[in-house]
Amino acid sequence: EILLTQSPDFQSVTPKEKVTITCRASQSIDSSLHWYQQKPDQSPKLLIKYASLSISGVPSRFSGSGSGTDFTLTINGLEAEDAAAYYCHQSSSLPQTFGQGTKLEIK
């Protein structure tokens, strides 16, 4: 099973800040890494697929990068509505796995 480790677990940030969340895989997964946003009391929402490909309807301030074992989700110009938990997910091999999550709090 591929383990995904996110950092940080929690971050308190101010609006307009640039936020970076990292996800490290226990073995190479090429670009089979995807990012989700889960707002309080909501289901997860797919933000980025294949490490860096944007999803229709997702604000352009969200971007992703990386390949192999190290990946990054960046939010440029944080907005209050971005308060949520963010999860990475790998589809390289079964069982599909998720990172433990990063909770973003807006100051």
Partner 1 sequence: QVQLQESGPGLVKPSQTLSLTCTVSGGSISSGDYYWSWIRQHPGKGLQWIGYIYYSGYTYSGRTYYNPSLESRVTISVDTSKNQLSLRLTSVTAADTALYYCARYQPPGFDYWGQGTLVTVSS
Binding site for partner 1 (CB under 8 A): 1, 32, 34, 36, 43-46, 49-50, 55, 87, 89, 91, 94-101
Q: Which is nearer to partner 1, 15 or 59 (CB)?
A: 59
Q: How far is the CB of 15 from partner 1 (least distance, A)?
A: 26
Q: Which is nearer to partner 1, 15 or 26 (CB)?
A: 26
Q: Which is nearer to partner 1, 53 or 59 (CB)?
A: 53
Phi, psi of 92 (to 5 degrees): -70, -40
Q: Which is nearer to partner 1, 18 or 26 (CB)?
A: 26
Instruction: Judge contact between 70 and 24, C-beta under 8 A.
Output: yes
Q: How far is the CB of 97 from partner 1 (least distance, A)?
A: 7
DSSP-based helix, strand, coil % in the chain, nearest 5: 5, 50, 45
How many CB atoms are closer than 10 A to CB 60?
A: 8
Q: How far is the CB of 42 from partner 1 (least distance, A)?
A: 8
Q: Angle at the Cα of 83 (from 80 to 89), degrees rounded to 5?
A: 140
